[in-house]
Amino acid sequence: GAVVSQHPSRVICKSGTSVKIECRSLDFQATTMFWYRQFPKQSLMLMATSNEGSKATYEQGVEKDKFLINHASLTLSTLTVTSAHPEDSSFYICSARDQAGGYTFGSGTRLTVV
């Protein structure tokens, strides 16, 4: 089946620094990928839709200048959390639509900003 690889699985960074999270579709091409955020004991919240070769579409309330998304190839989307602060600490999860139209999720990235 379709596989989505997300890296790193866990990262700790200092407040004010930037962190990049990678999401790769391993055995299929994904023109559309999605980024979610999940706070403890809460459900996943869609942050943005990443489209290959074009600008990402952000959900209401998500700052596009803070969460930079790049989808430069059909198998890779990256999310960069810029000038991270403790309130950005969360579980970030990417997802890709496979060729059958289903959704495959990455294993998530636990970001801790200290």
Catalog residues that contact other proteins under the rule CB under 8 A. Answer: 4, 6, 31-32, 34, 36, 43-46, 49, 51, 91, 93-95, 97, 100-108, 110
CA dist., res. 6 & res. 18, Å (int): 17
User: Which among 23, 25, 27, 24 is positioned nearest to 36, based on CA atoms?
Assistant: 23
Q: How far is the CB of 85 from other proteins (least distance, A)?
A: 22
Tell me how far, at minimum, the Cβ of 12 lies from other proteins, in Å. Answer: 15
**Distance of alpha carbon 26 from alpha carbon 65, whole angstroms:** 28
Q: What distance in Å separates the CA atoms of residue 77 and residue 60, rounded to the nearest whole number?
A: 20
Give whichever of 52 and 68 is closer to other proteins, judged by the CB atom: 52
Cβ of residue 16: shortest distance to other proteins, in angstroms? Answer: 26
